[in-house]
Amino acid sequence: MPLPATLNGVLARLPRPRSLAGQLFAMQAVLVAVLVGGYALFTYLSDRDQATEAATRQALAVTRSVADSPSVRAAIRTPDPSSTLQPYALRVQRHTGVDFVTIMNPQAIRWTHPTPDLIGRKFVGNTAPALAGHTFTETYKGTLGLSVRAVTPIRDHGEIVGLVSAGIRVEAISQRIHDQVTALAGAAGGALALGAVGTYVINARLRRSTHGMNAAELSRMHDYHEAALHAVREGLLMLDGQYRVALINDGGRELLGVRGEVVGRSVAELGLPAPLTGVLLSSQPRVDEIHLTADRVLAVNTSPVSGGERRGTVVTLRDVTELQSLMGELDSERGFTLALRSQAHEAANRLHTVVSLIELGRAEEAVDFATAELELAQELTDQVVAAVSEPVLAALLLGKAALANERGVELVVSEDSGIDDGLLPPSLPPRDLVTILGNLIDNAVDAAQGSVGARVTVTAHTDDTDGPALVLRVADTGAGVDPEHVETVFRRGWSTKPAGPGGRGLGLALVRQTVQRHAGRLSVARADGGGAEFEARLPLPTVGAAAGAASGAPGGAASAGGEGA
């Protein structure tokens, strides 16, 4: 049920969750403000206590200095102490920075005061401890307001002849603290501004790195990322700037055949084929480039990750083993189609010849001509079927023979050939035999074409020399293989022919891959007729067991034929 338009509008106006960088910035700004504010408050309280204590010490020092002054004791003994002590007290007050210096007699009657009109009046404050011979301090509200003061006795030959009090107004102490707090507030504001700028710069970079997403969005993206990695069947490999594995999914492990922990290891340490390793170590992008591993054909795509600098490479792997096999079969079918079309053309020519002979009244010659053509076609079929009764291989040889004939090359099945129907074990599927024998014949036809007496000889039989094995041998009358290229002829990309749009040098590499997958051997040598001779040996469980399995049930041949159909 759709939401009402009003509710949609309300939801649209709701504030979007703050990004992760924004959340961190707010948290860091609050943290910096709390730290600076707390430090400022602590400093203020500490400075206030220190200012009060300093004022107290200053007042004590002034009173003791005045009490110990001989001129003060001498002035007290005069008939008019105020005339001498008042100027003196004002000078001490001005020089020491206190707010008042009051000298009085033991009865607390003032001899001096900052306000002359108050001279001769009683001192406002406590004097009892001083009269008892003790110096003390107190905070008291007198004629000048609340002040921190000290009172000490003046002694002359052990007798208390007067008292002296000095003090600093609390208002003056507060002004001192205010000046300090102002400076502190400026420093705290500067620290807060500097912290805010630094936090903003750091979080701006974080915002770029996280693309403005908040924590929930990042968590959701991570969950999607993990699910996607394990869901896709294609292989995904991510390399960092030093070509080390940063990430690999399950499909990548399976396609590359790697086991164990590979994250953090260099691509060169994974044991991959040299051409594939070279592609992964290259900084150039690749698109659907075909590469072979031990048992797979892979389409490799690479794309560098850059953001002002090279950050790594994203590699996608796609298994095209089946696709490559199907493409080979499609190429064979196209060849068969062309051969049938050519044969149809030739058959029409021969039919016209027979019709023309009949019209000319040469019926016997027409019969002889037609019979000879039928015998020639039947001879090839009988030769192939008699030597190789395995239906898939027989069909392959007949098709390749027709295709080779159209290209001016004679394809011959040697007399040594002999493979019974049902001989092949289930572990050796007909499709793999088509891959091996089909590619070897195609290469042989290409090599023999244009040579004198162009011929390709195919031999398929079993051999017990080094244990039961199926031997597939293809020889041609071409130029042969240079001995220097014997070790490299089966590598992907090697070819004596110019590269076409789809590239060259994949057929023999696929043959070697298939042979190695079945623990077989593949070799090349010089043929007796001068060209090249390729031989593939595929081990069999036991020839007798395979033959017995073929003769034990009539359904075995039908099954083999059905699989190759």
Instruction: Check pLDDT > 80 for residue 192.
Output: no
Instruction: Check pLDDT > 90 for residue 153.
Output: yes
pLDDT attached to residue 214: 64
Q: Are 247 and 238 in contact (CB under 8 A)?
A: yes
Instruction: Check pLDDT > 80 for residue 36.
Output: no
The single-letter code of the amino acid at 493 is G
Instruction: Check pLDDT > 80 for residue 546.
Output: no
Q: What is the pTM of this model?
A: 0.46
Instruction: Check pLDDT > 60 for residue 193.
Output: yes
Two tokens at 353? 């010849």
Q: Are 381 and 398 in contact (CB under 8 A)?
A: yes
**Lowest mean pLDDT segment, chosen from 173-177, 196-200, 244-248:** 173-177
Contacts of 10 (CB under 8 A, 6+ apart): none
Q: Where are the alpha helices (DSSP H) in 211-273?
A: 215-231, 250-256
Determine the Cα–Cα distance for residues 152 and 163; give it in Å rounded to an integer.
6
What pLDDT band is residue 376 in, cutting at 50, 70 and 90?
low
Mean pLDDT, the chain, integer: 75
259-310: pLDDT as tens digits: 878 888 888 888 888 778 888 888 788 887 877 776 677 888 888 876 555 6
Q: Are 262 and 248 in contact (CB under 8 A)?
A: yes
pLDDT attached to residue 490: 59
Instruction: Check pLDDT > 70 for residue 169.
Output: yes
483-492: pLDDT as tens digits: 665 565 655 5
Q: What is the mean pLDDT of residues 162-187?
A: 77
Q: What is the mean pLDDT of residues 74-84?
A: 89
What pLDDT band is residue 53 in, cutting at 50, 70 and 90?
confident
The single-letter code of the amino acid at 495 is S
Residue 554: DSSP 8-state: T
Q: Count the neighbouring beta carbons within 10 Å of the beta carbon of residue 217.
A: 15
Q: Are 560 and 424 in contact (CB under 8 A)?
A: yes
- Strand order in 297-306's β-sheet? 245-248, 235-240, 310-319, 297-306, 286-292
What pLDDT band is residue 7 in, cutting at 50, 70 and 90?
very low
Q: Are 104 and 163 in contact (CB under 8 A)?
A: yes
pLDDT attached to residue 502: 39
Q: Are 284 and 213 in contact (CB under 8 A)?
A: no
23-34: pLDDT as tens digits: 666 776 777 777
pLDDT attached to residue 164: 93
- Which H helix or E strand runs over 329? helix 321-359
Q: What is the mean pLDDT of residues 433-447?
A: 84
Q: Give me the half-sphere count of Cα atoms (radius 13 Å) on the Cβ side of residue 304.
A: 15
What pLDDT band is residue 555 in, cutting at 50, 70 and 90?
very low
Distance linking the first and last C-alpha atoms of the chain: 55
What pLDDT band is residue 314 in, cutting at 50, 70 and 90?
confident
More confident residue, 560 or 464: 464
* The dihedral sign for the CA sequence 223, 224, 230, 235: negative
